[in-house]
Structure 1
Amino acid sequence: MPIVQQLARKTLPYLEHELASDFSRNRYYGSKFQADSVAYRDYKYFAKKRPPAESPSLVVGLRVDESASMSAFGRLEAAKRAVIAVYEFCQLCQIPVLIFGDTADVSRLEQMSIFAYVDLDKPDASDRFRLMQIRARSNNRDGMALRIMAERLAACRQQTKLLISISDGQPKAMDDYTGSYAVADMKQTIQEYERKGIAFLAAAIGQDKEVISGIYGKERFLDMTNLHEFPAKLVRMIARYL
């Protein structure tokens, strides 16, 4: 929290500047009379308040891989800390945030599972506690998870739409969703939604960093080898998009 609060203190002045309204002068009508304009005798004696800019013009989506392998080497706890850090930073800076977890193949009837911890449409003071339910479960069908979240973000009015995936491994789910087929599905999803204005970042915290980098591309890849630095690095990365 001290790191998050420090970053928020540095960020907020920029947001306040962007939010500040100004008056456009030389109007025939408006809410403010400009006495110094009378000399021009053009009847444009008023100033009208400009509406505040949409700010911050950023919405953040955070996708957490809840595959079973996330339970190894402290990855899940690091992911939770990072998610909490992002959530608290977004709350302090009033940035809309969407946080979903996902897994696959819990059962034959439940091939894909999405857990909405923080929803854009239903912000709740209890969201920060709900994030503690993030846990390692089964497999991961990354392409569908990204597609579901990207579709939600694409409908948002904010100018910058950032979707971050926290994962420790390559996609793997039942019925051959693995290898080149899964990689092709993910690349297609990323390309499709980048055309719709979604910016993707992959935060890799496991042994498959090279594979994840190959899927997302080096320009969208964050190597989070040092799990202790992960929360602060992720928040700083989001701050750059403001």
Structure 2
Amino acid sequence: MEIENRIRNLMWTVSGDYALNTRLDVASFSKSKYISMYDAIKQGAFAKYFDTNALSMYIVKKLFYGVEEPVLMNIAQICVDLAVYQKIVEERPGVCNIRRKAFEAMLDKDFRKMNDSFIGRVKLEIIRQFLNGKGTAEKRIQDVLDVLYPLEEASDTMEIIQAVDRIYNFAIDRSFERKHGDLEFVLNTSIEELAEATWQDFLDEEMYESVLEQMVDQVNQQVVSLEEKESAEEKKQDGPKKKSVVVLDEKALEKMNSYMQLNFGKSYLSEAEQKRTDRRLCNGAHADCSLYYTDGILQNPVLINAQYVNAKKQTDRNLLLLRNSKNMVKRNVDIMTHNLKRSLVTRTQQEELLSEYGSIIPSRLWKLGRTEDTKLFRRVIRQNETDFVVDILMDASGSQRDRQSQVALQAFIISEALSNVQIPHRVMSFCTFWDYTVMQRFREYDAPKSENRKILQYTTSSNNRDGLAIRAAADSLLQREEENKILIVLSDGRPNDVVVNRPNSRNPKPYCGDYAVKDTAQEVRKARNKGVYVLGVFAGKEQDLQAEKRIFGKDFAYIKDIRNFSNVVGQYLQKLLDW
């Protein structure tokens, strides 16, 4: 208690904020009082000069995408140290001596551990240059130092975040941005998506924020520590330790269905119907998965929780865009309606031809026996009167979050036009959480036009298991009586489903990369072989274009602007109607 009070007073003195209440690493004092003291000084200085929660929240979000936690944390520690040291030593020159002795203690205790990793060697070089004067290092390390040392002049937390992100992406994992996204994408990760990685903690919480506060607090304490984080390889060598993956116990499994209801709304299927559907559709690559059919949390909530509030806020944003785009929406609906009506009229027109059979034409009977013209009859040819049914399936994973309102508006335009020409259609979205692929229904095939506004409840979160979603949508279409069945899929060409490892339960094979693309392409081919027209509308990044082509073949459309979604779909439908 006495040691903790001394360290806390030191932190308070440096920060000037005696209300600052963060956890302190008292155990490090037994290793070296100077390491413990310098950590407390850094913690106080970091809180004084920067936004600690902003950096910690970035780290939490970055970890969500599967980065190696010890490596990321070690990079963050170095960045924080360089960002605060010059500032605090100008106010308190004695800190220089404390830092020197802390660094010397680290060399005594952790030299071998630091020397075993690249970031550890970067830290060793910084220590060496502080103790012996700046110099040059090997190129790879020098490239990192060139990013780190400018932080001594940093005045904004974003500069620290950018440095951490740049070092990790270009010195540790060069494929990160290609697989997941850039810094802006990471920072835009929503609270709901963070629940994916630690959902077990959230089962007992009505609001996400309380759990996130605990996570952020843990990171706050770690980023100012000098302790070298163990790599995954070192953990293996040291023997079994706490797993970094999420492990679900039996009690948690029992809560899972309740959790789905809390965060995605009640299912409109009975328990028996749900089991029959899973047995019929969840097999092959999706044998360890489940489908969850819902009208959404706003339609069938269990209680007013954070998910409900966030869904309501996004719906309000979607409705605001609709109001602000009223003239554009009306114009697009009218154009699409006109084009579809024209094509439908053409299909139902009748054409009369002279023929050798049919209804006799009395005025032509004089030709009988007098000419070789035997076409004495009138035959009526009816154009193709076959009917149509359409399914619109929208990717609602986190990758779509930047364009949620635009996607909702474009789907609304399509639905309004289809309603005007009385073509039955259904609009659904899909995302995958845990082993559930959530199929959210906005309107059913034969629903009245007034149901179209529910499309504006479209929100995004979590991952996407495209193959299972397409299989489920095609299955519903095949149960319809209409002859021409059309499935339109809006996606980003990146099927990706994070797997959660859990004992005594199902463990789906990781669904990502080439494996996921092949499976999704196979489901598209199966649907087409059964008579379903499938159009893929690609709204992702250009580097994923080849994957989209592999999935949908020649029947896909690439739109760089989501505002062209309704136009592309309208042209495709018109082409099918004109056949």
Counterparts of 1:211 and 1:128 in 2: how far apart (Å)?
32
Which residue of structure 2 lines up, in the alignment, with residue 210 of structure 1? Answer: 546
Which of 387, 392, 395 aligns to 1:65? It is 395
> 1:181 and 2:509 equivalent?
no
Which residue of structure 1 lines up, in the alignment, with residue 438 of structure 2? Answer: 113
Cα separation, partners in 2 of 1:168 and 1:155, compared to 1, 3 Å: same
AA of the residue aligned to 2:332: I
Unaligned runs of 5+ in 2: 1-329, 366-379, 500-509
Which residue of structure 1 lines up, in the alignment, with residue 525 of structure 2? Answer: 191
Which residue of structure 1 lines up, in the alignment, with residue 429 of structure 2? Answer: 101
Task: Report the Cα offset of residue 215 of structure 1.
Answer: 1.9
Task: Report the Cα offset of residue 13 of structure 1.
Answer: 3.5
Cα separation, partners in 2 of 1:188 and 1:95, compared to 1, 3 Å: same
Counterparts of 1:198 and 1:191 in 2: how far apart (Å)?
9
Contact 2:392–2:427 (8 Å) recurs in 1? yes
Cα separation, partners in 2 of 1:117 and 1:26, compared to 1, 3 Å: same
Which residue of structure 1 lines up, in the alignment, with residue 332 of structure 2? Answer: 3
Contact 1:85–1:235 (8 Å) recurs in 2? no
3-state SS in 2 of match to 1:164: strand
> 1:128 and 2:452 equivalent?
yes
Which residue of structure 1 lines up, in the alignment, with residue 476 of structure 2? Answer: 152
Task: Report the Cα offset of residue 202 of structure 1.
Answer: 0.9
Q: CA RMSD in A?
A: 2.9
Q: Residue deviations 1:17-75, cap 9 Å, x none?
A: 5346799x979xxxxxx9x79x9xxxxxxxxx9999645x2221110000011012xx3
3-state SS in 1 of match to 2:535: strand
Unaligned runs of 5+ in 1: 28-33, 40-48
Cα separation, partners in 2 of 1:52 and 1:94, compared to 1, 3 Å: farther
> 1:201 and 2:535 equivalent?
yes
Which residue of structure 2 lines up, in the alignment, with residue 30 of structure 1? Answer: none
Counterparts of 1:65 and 1:190 in 2: how far apart (Å)?
15
AA of the residue aligned to 1:93: V
What TM-score results when the alignment is normalised by the length of structure 2? 0.35
Counterparts of 2:487 and 2:436 in 1: how far apart (Å)?
23
Counterparts of 1:83 and 1:91 in 2: how far apart (Å)?
12
> 1:91 and 2:416 equivalent?
no
Which residue of structure 1 lines up, in the alignment, with residue 565 of structure 2? Answer: 230
Task: Report the Cα offset of residue 114 of structure 1.
Answer: 0.7
Which of 491, 504, 511 aligns to 1:167? It is 491
Number of residues of Structure 1 aligned to a counterpart in Structure 2: 221
Contact 1:100–1:116 (8 Å) recurs in 2? yes
Cα separation, partners in 2 of 1:177 and 1:9, compared to 1, 3 Å: same
Cα separation, partners in 2 of 1:168 and 1:76, compared to 1, 3 Å: farther
Counterparts of 2:444 and 2:334 in 1: how far apart (Å)?
23
> 1:137 and 2:461 equivalent?
yes
Contact 1:82–1:230 (8 Å) recurs in 2? yes
Task: Report the Cα offset of residue 143 of structure 1.
Answer: 0.5
Contact 2:415–2:452 (8 Å) recurs in 1? yes
AA of the residue aligned to 1:182: A
From the two aligned structures, give the one with the greater strand fraction. Answer: 1
3-state SS in 2 of match to 1:222: strand
Task: Report the Cα offset of residue 240 of structure 1.
Answer: 1.4
Counterparts of 2:487 and 2:393 in 1: how far apart (Å)?
7
AA of the residue aligned to 1:200: V
Contact 1:141–1:177 (8 Å) recurs in 2? yes
What TM-score results when the alignment is normalised by the length of structure 1? 0.78
Q: Which has the larger radius of gyration?
A: 2
Runs of 4+ in 1 over 6 A off after TM superposition: 49-53
Q: Residue deviations 1:177-200, cap 9 Å, x none?
A: 111221221122112121100111
Cα separation, partners in 2 of 1:51 and 1:152, compared to 1, 3 Å: farther
Task: Report the Cα offset of residue 158 of structure 1.
Answer: 2.4
3-state SS in 2 of match to 1:131: helix
Which residue of structure 2 lines up, in the alignment, with residue 44 of structure 1? Answer: none
Matches within 5 A, 1:49-64: 54-55=385-386, 57-64=387-394
AA of the residue aligned to 2:441: A
Which sits farther off after the overlay, 181-190 or 129-138?
A: 181-190
AA of the residue aligned to 2:443: V
Task: Report the Cα offset of residue 136 of structure 1.
Answer: 1.0
From the two aligned structures, give the one with the greater helix fraction. Answer: 2
Counterparts of 1:206 and 1:53 in 2: how far apart (Å)?
37
